[in-house]
Amino acid sequence: MSAFAAILSKDLRLELRSGVSTIAMVALAMLVLVVLVFALNPGVARGPEAAAGALWIALVFAGMLGASRALMAESENECIRALLISPVDRATLYAAKLAASAIFMLVALGAGAILTVLFFNLEFSGALVRLAPILILGVIGFAALATLLAAISGRARGGELLLPLLVVPMFVPALIAGVRASTAALSAAPMATARDWIGILVAFDVLFVTAGYLLFEHVIGQE
Partner 1 sequence: MGRKLNNVLGAVTLALMVVALWMIFAWVPTEAEQGIVQRIFYFHVPCAWVAFAAFAIVAVAGVFYLWLGGQIWDDLGYAAAEIGMLFCTLMLLTGSLWAKPIWGTWWTWDSRLTTSFVLWLLYGGYLLMRAMLEESGQVARFAAVVGIVAALDVPVVIVSVRLWRTIHPAVLVTRQGGHGLQDPRMVVTLLVSITAFTLMFAWLLMLRLAILRTRTRLDEIARAIAIAEFRAGRA
Binding site for partner 1 (CB under 8 A): 145, 148-149, 152-153, 155-159, 162, 165-166, 168-170, 172-174, 176-177, 180, 196-197, 200, 203-204, 207-208, 211, 215, 218-219, 222-223
For the bound state, the minimum distance from the C-beta of residue 176 to partner 1, rounded and expressed in Å, comes to 5
> Cβ closer to partner 1: 25 or 80?
80
> Cβ closer to partner 1: 89 or 123?
89
CA pair distance 5, 12, nearest whole angstrom: 10
Please name the residues in contact with 132: beta carbons below 8 A apart, sequence gap of 6 or more.
Answer: none
State the CB neighbour count (10 A cutoff) for residue 215.
16
Cα-based angle 207, 208, 213 (whole degrees, multiple of 5): 110
3-class SS of residue 103: helix
CA pair distance 51, 216, nearest whole angstrom: 35
For the bound state, the minimum distance from the C-beta of residue 180 to partner 1, rounded and expressed in Å, comes to 8
For the bound state, the minimum distance from the C-beta of residue 61 to partner 1, rounded and expressed in Å, comes to 17
45: number of CA atoms within 13 Å, CB side?
19
> Cβ closer to partner 1: 37 or 168?
168
CB 98 within 8 A of CB 208: no
For the bound state, the minimum distance from the C-beta of residue 126 to partner 1, rounded and expressed in Å, comes to 26
> Cβ closer to partner 1: 48 or 164?
164
> Cβ closer to partner 1: 13 or 155?
155
Residue 19 region, left (φ>0) first, then alpha (ψ -120 to 50), else beta?
A: left
For the bound state, the minimum distance from the C-beta of residue 157 to partner 1, rounded and expressed in Å, comes to 7
